[in-house]
Amino acid sequence: MVAVVATAGESTAPTKAKPAARGKTTAAKAKPKRAGATRPSTATASAAPAYADRDDVRAFIAELVRDTDLAQRDVERWLAAAKFQPRIVALMDRPLLEPPKWYVYAPPFLSAARIDAGVRFWRDNAQALARAEEVYGVPPEIVVAIIGVETFYGRNTGSHRVIDALATLAFDYPRRAPFFRGELKEFLLLAQEQDFSPLVPRGSYAGAMGLPQFMPGSYRRFAVDFDGDGHADLWRDPTDVIGSVAHYLARHDWQRGQPVLAPAAVTSDGQASALRRLDGGISERRPLAAWQADGVGLREAAGPGTTEDEPVGLLLLEEGSDGAMSLWIAYPNFYVITRYNKSRLYAAAVWALAQRLRAQYLAGR
């Protein structure tokens, strides 16, 4: 995301502010290869001066000490211990060819193993999930599905030391340096507030942390201590994780009781113009009446209580290599999920996993 970086655990192919490269709008444009370009000398692991000895890092430290109550000697010590990780730069620079298609992207997130484990997670945490829905309006299956897609309910929370990842991207990845310098600052403040050593936590190669893969800035803004033990612990406390994910969505305008996706019906006359409104498989939002005037509507009547006033979008999912596709009306809550990870496929996978979790949870109850 910029809130949370989308490339959460290495397991989730997708983002939250996962690196921007994953976003639908940027995915198609791979950065030009800098073949032959010489990396700055600092990018060579063995020859590079330690971070704490570099002028740019010293300037960063001075600014941090001026703007926060972090102690200079602490920050120097932490950054002296941070290690440049060339593999992380390589991961960020992976050329992205075509964005994946739905029928390739979705199956790993909808496997029987991920559904079974999600239903167990739901049963084990039913009370916290019910309370999160009461407080924040986000239904359990959506919260569980996000945790399932991000990290397989905590199985894959990332193996990179967060301080190494953030220092590498803040100081040796110029393209995103301002963003990651900000996240590095947030991380050090978070460590101080939550009373842990910043040299310990591990996360994704972009610095996303814990079961929900929050970036440090999101952690500070949106994590909640949902069990009231004094810490918002997104690594070990599923109750805090549940409250935090629900709080994140609520703060990004989740609408209680409203749908995410509904099957669209498109007239044969309307199809071509509807498809032209898509950009990377998703459209801008318009009033449903405007869609209807163009031959796009709901395949089934909307459920009771569904608002008809909010603009809705059109979503395309590629169902097979033969060109089969499905079209969906995307409600505002769909776009809320993309605030977690700016990807149409990510949000659709969360929703699809959520449907399966709910069906299996209710069937077994």
Least distance from Ca ion to the Cβ atom of residue 326, Å: 40
Residue with Cβ nearer Ca ion (230 or 305): 230
How distant is the alpha carbon of residue 313 from its chain centre?
21
Strand-pair partners of 330: 261, 313
Smallest separation, CB 286 to Ca ion (Å): 42
CA distance 352 to 110: 7
Q: Could you say whether residue 227 binds Ca ion (CB under 5 A)?
A: yes
Of 210 and 332, CB closest to Ca ion = 210
H or E segment to which residue 355 belongs: helix 344-363
- Cα atoms in the 13 Å half-sphere on the side-chain side of 303: 8
Please tell me whether residue 229 binds Ca ion under the rule CB under 5 A. Answer: yes
If binding is defined by CB under 5 A, does position 56 make contact with Ca ion?
no
Single-letter amino acid, residue 96: L
Catalytic residue among 150, 183, 186, 318: 150
- Listed in order, strand segments (DSSP E) in 319-360 are 325-330
3-state secondary structure of 53: helix
Interface with Ca ion (CB under 5 A), residue from 240, 291, 328, 331? 240
The residues that bridge with 296 in the sheet, in sequence order, are 266
Rounded to a whole number of angstroms, the minimum distance from the CB of residue 224 to Ca ion is 8
C-alpha–C-alpha distance, residues 104 and 97, integer Å: 14
Cβ distance to Ca ion smaller for residue 128 or 166: 128
CB nearer Ca ion, residue 106 or residue 223: 223
CA atoms of 23 and 2, how far apart (whole Å):
11
Q: How far apart are CA 361 and CA 365, in angstroms?
A: 6
**In the complex, least distance from residue 302 CB atom to Ca ion, rounded to whole angstroms:** 38
Backbone angles phi, psi at 326, to 5 degrees: -125, 150
Binding to Ca ion, residues 247-306 (CB under 5 A): none
Closer to Ca ion by Cβ: residue 228 or 257:
228
Secondary element (H or E) of residue 251: helix 238-251
Give the Cα separation of 246 and 240 in Å (integer).
10
Residues between 186 and 225 with contacts to Ca ion, criterion CB under 5 A: 225
Does 150 qualify as catalytic in the annotation? yes
Give min distance, CB of 222 to Ca ion, in A. Answer: 14
| Contacts of residue 134, Cβ cutoff 8 Å, sequence gap at least 6 | none
Query: Of 10 and 227, which CB lies nearer to Ca ion in the complex structure?
Result: 227
Return the residue matching tokens 């749908």: 259
Bridge partners (DSSP) of residue 315 are 282, 328
Q: Is 77 helix (H, G, I), strand (E, B) or coil?
A: helix
Question: Shortest distance, CB of residue 327 to Ca ion, whole angstroms?
Answer: 42
Pair type for strands 296-298 and 261-266? antiparallel
How many residues at the interface with Ca ion, by CB under 5 A?
Answer: 6
Q: Which CB atom, from 172 or from 233, has the smaller least distance to Ca ion?
A: 233
Residue ranges in 83-142 that form contacts with Ca ion under rule CB under 5 A? none
Bridge partner list, 266: 296
- Catalytic residue positions? 150
Q: Which residues bind Ca ion (CB under 5 A)?
A: 225, 227, 229, 231, 237, 240
